[in-house]
Amino acid sequence: MNFNLIRLLRTVSSERFVLQTPQGEDAVAVDLHYARDGRVAGTVFVFDGGGITDEMVPDVLQYLDEVLLPDASLDEQNLSFTVVRGKVIGDFTPETDVASA
């Protein structure tokens, strides 16, 4: 896989990563949730236009397993992924209205 892996967020029990193409385009977003018993549940968002075909998804999941999750494994059945394909509509954040404060 020829992608750059970037961690966007980390909490006590979860992480968010993005896989970018060498050109800096987002191809895949990954949310990982760590259970206390060692299981890991991941949600993988494959972005339309990011260069990942449906046929490539198993290789992406294997890459994520090998690179990000040394203590969990698809083979050991303590790792699962839900895969979603779509497009980013936009980023929505609260607006700060200084006049009303």
Cα 51 from Cα 36, distance rounded (Å):
35
Any domain includes 72? yes
* 7 CB-near residues (< 8 Å, 6+ apart): 15, 16, 17
Distance CA 70, CA 23 (A): 28
- Report how far residue 84's alpha carbon sits from residue 78's, in angstroms, rounded to the nearest whole number: 20
CATH of the domain at 59: 3.30.300
Domain annotation covers residue 98: no
Residue 17 has a pLDDT of 97
Residue 38 lies in a domain: yes
Read off the tokens for 23: 């050109």
Give pLDDT, residue 47: 96
> What is the pLDDT, as a whole number, of residue 39?
96
**Count of domains observed in the chain:** 1
The answer to whether residue 99 is domain-embedded is no
For the stretch 50-86, pLDDT in tens is 999 999 999 999 999 999 998 899 889 999 999 999 9
Domain that holds residue 75: 4-87
pLDDT at position 35 over 80: yes
